[in-house]
Amino acid sequence: MEVTVAKTAGFCFGVRRAVEQVYEQIGRGLRPVYTLGPIIHNEEVVRDLEDKGVIVLNDVKELENVREGTVIIRSHGVGREVYRQIERQGLGLTDATCPFVKKIHRIVEEQNNLGRRVIIIGDRLHPEVEGIRGWGDERTLVIKDEKEIDDLPDLTGEKLCIVSQTTFNYNKFKDLVEKFLKRGYDIIVLNTICNATQERQVEAERIASQVEAMIVIGGKNSSNTRKLYEICRKECRNTYYIQTLGDLDPESVSSVRSVGITAGASTPKNIIEEVHTNVRAIK
């Protein structure tokens, strides 16, 4: 069996940086250490950190009850009000927001101050998008598909700025932007999908088009992994979404001659290697 592993599979720069910062805090012996939400969308990594004493705050309301310690903002980022709350409560702060996400925060704040209505293309329930929206105002909109564009009121006469969730599907982003442009609005379009995401999606699509089965590894709640799966599924009918090796049915790939493997940005290298080794051994 021929097995191809995507070169871009696994931790991206922002995720690796965030995870390293949490382990650094643990190493300093400072307690307690909190992360505002799971540091990444990978249950194995989060479980290991919890075993080492890290406490996950599931939402901002839980933050209100913290009286001491250090709060780590994960790579997804948060809105400006969360920073203010941490400062008001006198807590330590480690900001592990991905630099690419930080850039979007600055863009949204700047364009909002210039009077433009910001439109975020992405999933409104994703923590990254919630954080981005927190740098805009009450006019800020989140759009994820064509239907939501059709449901919008007429924005003629308004100045608009379009940005994107960093992990959004690039081709879908282009299609949605085109639909906005056809309406003749006064729009600034800023493609804020990170390069690593684009490269990962392009490589996954290419591999999936060349193999008989495709394996996509990542956390169940990982937005970027879900998009990888959708992209691969279009190219390869036999595409499987797994979180760990234990989720893979060996029979599903036992009769094929070629398998491709890719992984989301929150998937540790050891999990990818474990899947790769075991798939190669299937006969």
Contact 38, 59 (CB under 8 A): no
Average pLDDT of the chain?
A: 93
Which listed residue (24, 87, 110, 128) is catalytic? 128
Whether the pLDDT of residue 282 is over 90: the answer is no
Query: 2-10+196-281 with 13-98: one CATH topology?
Result: no
Whether the pLDDT of residue 229 is over 80: the answer is yes
- Averaged pLDDT for residues 39-48: 85
43: annotated active-site residue? no
Residue 41: predicted pLDDT: 80
What CATH number is given for 2-10+196-281 in this structure?
A: 3.40.1010.20
Please report, for the chain, the start and end positions of each structural domain, with discontinuous segments joined by +.
Answer: 2-10+196-281, 13-98, 100-193
Whether the pLDDT of residue 283 is over 70: the answer is no
Contact 140, 120 (CB under 8 A): yes
Tokens of 193: 């999908």
Whether the pLDDT of residue 45 is over 90: the answer is no
- Top pLDDT among 43 and 18 is at 18
- Averaged pLDDT for residues 70-84: 95
DSSP secondary structure string for all residues of the chain: -EEEE-TT-S--HHHHHHHHHHHHHHHTT-S-EEEES-SSS-HHHHHHHHHTT-EEE-SHHHHTT--SSEEEE-TT---HHHHHHHHHTT-EEEE---HHHHHHHHHHHHHHHTTPEEEEES-TTSHHHHHHHTTS-TT-EEE-SHHHHHTSPP-TT-EEEEEE-TTS-HHHHHHHHHHHHTTT-EEEE-----HHHHHHHHHHHHHHTT-SEEEEE--TT-HHHHHHHHHHHHH-SSEEEESSGGG--GGGTTT-SEEEEEE-TT--HHHHHHHHHHHHH--
Residue 105: predicted pLDDT: 98
- Averaged pLDDT for residues 134-143: 96
What CATH number is given for 100-193 in this structure?
A: 3.40.1010.20
- Averaged pLDDT for residues 233-243: 96
pLDDT digits (tens, 9 = 90+) for 176-224: 999 999 999 999 999 999 988 889 999 999 999 999 999 999 988 888 8
- Averaged pLDDT for residues 10-15: 89
Task: Name the CATH topology of 13-98.
Answer: Rossmann fold (3.40.50)
